[in-house]
A = this chain, B = another copy of it.
Amino acid sequence: MAATSARRVLVYGGRGALGATVVKHFKAQGYWVGSLDFANNEDANGNVSITKSESLLEQEQEIVSGVKSLLGDSKLDCLVCVAGGWAGGNAAAEDFIKNTDLVLKQSVWSSAIASRLASLFLRPGGLLTLTGARPALEGTPGMIGYGMAKAAVHQLVRSLAATNSGLPEGVAAVAILPTTLDTPMNRKWMPKADTSSWTPMEYVAEMLHKWVENQDRPASGSLVSLITANGQTKLEFS
């Protein structure tokens, strides 16, 4: 299905838990929704499938070419990048470097490519959202690679918000900084955790939808922490 309807959003990581929730939410609101991931999301109006995973440059070329084919001459109102993952380890951990490599690919590569896509395919005044992590605002000794990757994403958003960053006129670039999302995987791996401090994915999807519609959209460059306690989520801007 071509990208012909009025409002268009592309979800980078549209097959992940949060990404799939975002795809569904925007679809239900009447958006044309594209999904970009290693596998297709059948709920989306269109898909770009990633096959290159070993070279950042090859991956970017494949993705830019795929998004160009998907969109034709249309522009996006919003690019939501929720690609990512998690891997832990301190400097003494046997898998520290292996996990660092993984999280760099998951978070830094995807965020850099998303920035490139934003420069090419967002309409003026559009929105780019990336995904950071609240713990990475400070040191993260038990998940060193993950903290580095997310800190890079935080600084990227500051760069994109500054003059001459290469984004189209009036585009806002912001990062959402979850602590723990209420996903099936987190429930599986942390069965005894207090889930009342986990942020519901539907909350995130609805928030992003409002921002696209220019309701309460944060200033470009904002890092928006999602802080959930007793089942209530509040936002903290930095």
A107 CB to nearest B CB, Å: 10
Can you name the residue of chain B whose Cβ is closest to the Cβ of A90? B166
- In the complex, A197 has a CB within 8 A of chain B: no
Asked if B144 contacts A165 (CB within 8 A), the reply is yes
Q: Which of A93, A148, A160, A165 has the most CB of B within 10 A?
A: A148
A96-B116, A145-B112, A152-B149 given; A139·B158 CB < 8 A: yes
CB distance from A186 to the nearest CB of B (A): 22
Question: Which of A91, A155, A159 has the most chain B CB atoms inside 10 A of its CB?
Answer: A91
**Contacting residues, chain B, for A154 (C-beta < 8 A):** 151
With A98-B57, A119-B92 known as contacts, the answer to whether A164 contacts B151 (CB < 8 A) is no
Copies in the complex: 2
- Whether the Cβ atoms of A91 and B56 lie closer than 8 Å is no
Once the chains bind, are A138 and B158 in contact (CB under 8 Å)?
yes
Taking a contact as CB atoms under 8 Å apart, the answer to whether B91 and A166 are in contact is yes
Contact B98 A118 (CB under 8 A): no
| Cα-based distance from A90 to B165 in the complex (angstroms) | 5
The contact size tier of chain A is 35 or more
Q: Please give, as numbers and ranges, the residues of chain B lying within 8 Å of A161 by CB-CB distance.
A: 139
Give A92 to B119 CA distance when docked, in angstroms: 6
User: What chain B residues lie within 8 Å of A119 (beta carbons)?
Assistant: 90-92
Task: Tell me, in angstroms, the Cα distance from A113 to B90 when the chains sit together.
Answer: 12
Tell me if A34 counts as interface (CB < 8 A to partner B).
no
> Considering the complex of A and B, which 9 residue pairs feature the smallest CB-CB distances, nearest first?
A92-B166, A151-B155, A139-B158, A90-B166, A91-B166, A141-B165, A141-B162, A148-B152, A91-B119
Could you list 16 examples of A-B contacts with CB < 8 Å? A56-B97, A90-B164, A91-B165, A91-B166, A92-B166, A96-B166, A97-B116, A139-B155, A139-B159, A139-B161, A140-B155, A140-B162, A141-B160, A142-B164, A147-B155, A152-B155
- CB within 8 Å of B: which residues of A? 55-57, 60, 90-93, 96-98, 100-101, 104, 108, 112-113, 115-116, 118-119, 136, 138-142, 144-145, 147-167, 221
